[in-house]
Structure 1
């Protein structure tokens, strides 16, 4: 008899954490990379705060979330970039059109905004993320033929933009992240996070409300055209 893989119990436990609609809703909301209060997540998931608290306890105990308390408020966020990658990769496997259809014009508009551009934990996603990734690739700044990798010219390009690449940690410099709306990979990793942070800090992009959706500003459209040749039409 073949011995059972010792990782089987752990994998089953991890899968059970995600295999709940309320907990899945929390994980997807937290892909914006920010800390949320339990009350905010309860409203997003459509459950009572007491119910949500039990779910958050399981996610924290399972290592998917971290928490901190400020006064009477409890804040939670995704534990790290690896958890964000796991959630985004799983979401990308959901068949297109299998979700709940928008019930109102507001929900439909929010969905369209998310598809145009959003943050995926700490990097850009949606049509915006794909447009940037394609432009970097077409200009020889990013390679995709043997997995995502910045070229020497790509590293220099980031430097010219004033974007610092922190290569001290274990996180890869460039990584492919499968986009769940476009069904194509966009840039993640250290470079993806640095570019997203730069876009928000310089005003190239602005967040839309409290959602993950972002819009490209007029100055951002000019900057993306001048630095990467991305036409406005490609940004949705």
Structure 2
């Protein structure tokens, strides 16, 4: 029997709310980097928001970026240190609201970085306001009657936009149960492998629960992802550049 131990990079317990998916995702990133032998030379650029708690518990080199600029900072680091594994870790408010331009142009240029994008459908740290990914009808502190897409537009599916671009890897996973956690870990590894093989831009979106701002129990938050969120945000691999078309 092999004893599963905590990755060395996760040197203390995380500080996220009970039931939050960020803690699971942090561990998956740490496990993949450790298994690939990249944890000692990885560099993470961290977003403003709940993602900013990651460096407190994650024992790799991290740079705290300005709000929305984590992808741009990651690009700068990768261009200066091309042999390092460089990733940004961002939430939906950071990456798709104030940081939408930085996110998209890194993809348009096919920069050789990896983006770990956490989609919990709201601005989690600042009070649960509506985000670009908030579902139609979803109640938030700034949409107390439910999101009205006739006024705000539809939820933003950034992978659908990126599928038209020349990028290396695009996938969407979830942490709503053991099976999807394991699939999501594989997506993260394939994204980092794309960077290691110099194929270009890789992006993994991860559907994550936010029990605090969804006003749900952790169990019901996971059920909500399975029964509701995944109807809008389909899971799977959408782009994977092969050796033939690299």
Normalised to the residue count of structure 1, the TM-score between the two structures is: 0.28
